[in-house]
Structure 1
């Protein structure tokens, strides 16, 4: 099955061997997204709300580059470093998914950079009836 790598304009070099998104047969897989700037520096240190917003804006840019919208998201994988940030993440998350919510799971775990509080990976179905 052919696949297309999806990289929004202006995306920095990933810190590991992966692509921001991969589109195959109308399904877009968005890699785990951390609150990084173009130089892979964690932004909004200590602010789970701002980090969640930053992560979801990056995910949105990958989805839009592939020709979709956030309404096309069907599943999110959410990783938090501390359950104390759950309410803050959910408040921002609800802004990006105001209607019917995608399926998801959320776990607490360590992340690749200690200052990162949240990571999200997404699956979106784009352009298939």
Structure 2
């Protein structure tokens, strides 16, 4: 089985020694996507805006790997504060309304660069990696 490292400028770059995603066969394993605006390197303010940005980064990485949000099988959402769950969940539902994937959501002590949210995913590739 072939392993391909996925890199795209349409999403925030990795902030450490890891790939934005890795494609193995027809599966795309997207690393946790922080809410970094790829154009400015900054975070938007608030949990809703950070969730939207994390999901936009995730969508871009998946697309580069030949997948999409529609082909996601599993996500993991990392929250700095579990009290932000309802607000995060409302934004998440905008992106995964029909046939939502399996999901785990966990509260963590701290995220890189003090982000409020980070989202990772496993998706089925439906096209070639770019």
TM-score of the two chains, using structure 1 as the length reference: 0.88
1:95-122 CA-partner distances (Å, limit 9, x unpaired):
11110110010010121222x1001110
Checking the alignment, whether the CA contact within 8 Å between 1:20 and 1:62 is kept in structure 2 is: yes
- Does the aligned pair in 2 maintain the 1:12–1:40 contact within 8 Å? no
Q: Match of 1:56?
A: 55
- Give the alignment of 1:42-121 within 5 angstroms: 42-45=42-45, 47-109=46-108, 110-114=110-114, 116-121=115-120
Tell me the distance in 1 between the aligned counterparts of 2:126 and 2:13.
28
Whole-angstrom CA distance in 1 between matches of 2:120 and 2:81:
18
Moved more, 65-74 or 23-32: 65-74
Tell me which residue corresponds to 1:32.
Answer: 32
Is 1:4 paired with 2:25? no
d(CA) in 1 for partners of 2:11 and 2:94? 24
Aligned 8 A contact 1:6 1:23 in 2? yes
Give structure 1 stretches of 5+ with no counterpart. Answer: none
Structure 2 CA distance for partners of 1:79 and 1:42, relative to 1, 3 Å: farther
Aligned residue pairs total: 126
| Residue segments in structure 2 that go unaligned for 5+ positions in a row | none
Instruction: State how far apart, in whole Å, the 1-side matches of 2:123 and 2:58 are.
Output: 10
